[in-house]
């Protein structure tokens, strides 16, 4: 753990609350610009910030179900694209076998750059109104394989150096029943990523990249120590159960081969 962060406990607390505020601003931007009731009213979405390595450092007060999936999605994106990430890129995925949860959940993430340095990632998840397949809305209870559930999107670029990859937008448009709502929600997720990008750049511009990195490492170390504490695990489980009891969510359990169990 970086000891320099511990020498500035007040700064550590300020940055902790600052990144929490940024992800909540991302969630507000997403809700206000969304087209579908899934995101605008049900708030079936999540927002987060990650460090340059894709490690989760802050998550918005949105759907608890999504919170543990972001590191896996980030691992798939960084593992696939590695050193080829460039300013202006945006990535999308929904494949459960490559970092996703279920097909209606679109992951849209944006690398955040300060000059020539990658300083973090803004990540969003949004449950889309439809992803094609045999059942409107997805999650057909009689599906026997994932191909019946809708469009599968592996980790790929949605924007390439600031320019939209129109082929991806066209594929989504042609494979969903309500393209206006789905593409509207995709753009709402892009707006949330832009809000996260601006907030993170402003924050690091104020405190400096090195101090921010040191505090981010300290926060991650605290989270790891908390995860190893059985009493903390119990408290966290109770909290998540209390939050989750007010929400409903259903993810089909599938075998690796793609058949639904």
Q: 196 is written with which tokens? A: 């996260």
Strands (E), 94-241: 105-114, 117-127, 156-160, 163-164
What pLDDT does 111 receive?
Answer: 97
Residue 3 has pLDDT above 80, yes or no: no
Nearest in space to 106 (alpha carbons), one of 204, 207, 30, 11: 30
Per-residue model confidence as pLDDT tens digits over 156-184: 999 999 999 999 999 999 999 999 999 99
**Does the pLDDT at position 242 exceed 50?**
no
pLDDT 10s digits, 14-25: 888 999 999 999
pLDDT band, residue 224 (cuts 50/70/90): confident
Exposure letters 153-176 (e unless 16+ CB within 10 A, then b)? bebbbbbeeeeebeebbeebeebb
pTM score, whole prediction: 0.83
Greater confidence, 119 or 82? 119
User: Any idea which of 33-37, 62-66, 81-85 has the lowest mean pLDDT?
Assistant: 62-66
Kindly state the percentage of the chain with pLDDT values over 90: 59
Query: Quick one: pLDDT band at residue 185, thresholds 50, 70, 90?
Result: very high
Residue 249 has pLDDT above 90, yes or no: no
Contacts of 158 (CB under 8 A, 6+ apart): 90, 91, 92, 108, 164, 165, 168, 169, 186, 190
- For residue 260, name the pLDDT band (cuts at 50, 70, 90): very low
Q: Please give the average per-residue pLDDT across 41-68, as a whole number.
A: 86
């Amino acid at each position: 753990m970086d000891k320099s962060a511990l020498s500035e406990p007040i700064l550590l607390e300020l940055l902790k609350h600052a990144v929490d505020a940024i992800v909540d601003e991302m969630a507000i931007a997403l809700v206000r610009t969304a087209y579908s009731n899934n995101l605008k009213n049900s708030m079936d979405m999540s927002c987060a910030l990650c460090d340059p390595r894709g490690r989760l450092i802050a998550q918005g007060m949105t759907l608890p179900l999504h919170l543990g999936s972001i590191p896996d999605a980030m691992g798939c994106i960084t593992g696939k694209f590695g050193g080829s990430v460039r300013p202006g890129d945006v990535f999308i995925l929904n494949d459960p076998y490559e970092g996703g949860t279920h097909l209606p959940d679109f992951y849209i993430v944006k690398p955040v750059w300060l000059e020539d340095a990658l300083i973090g990632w803004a990540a969003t998840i949004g449950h889309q109104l439809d992803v094609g397949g045999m059942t409107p809305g997805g999650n057909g209870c009689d599906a026997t394989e994932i191909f019946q559930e809708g469009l599968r999107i592996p980790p790929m670029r949605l924007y390439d150096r600031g320019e939209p990859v129109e082929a991806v937008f066209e594929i989504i448009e042609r494979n969903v029943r309500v393209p206006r709502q789905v593409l509207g929600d995709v753009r709402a997720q892009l707006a949330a990523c832009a809000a996260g990008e601006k907030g993170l750049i402003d924050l690091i511009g104020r405190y400096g990249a090195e101090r921010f990195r040191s505090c981010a490492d300290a926060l991650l170390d605290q989270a790891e120590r908390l995860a190893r504490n059985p009493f903390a695990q119990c408290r966290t489980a109770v909290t998540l159960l209390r939050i989750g009891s007010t929400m409903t969510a259903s993810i089909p359990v599938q075998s690796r081969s793609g058949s639904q169990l």
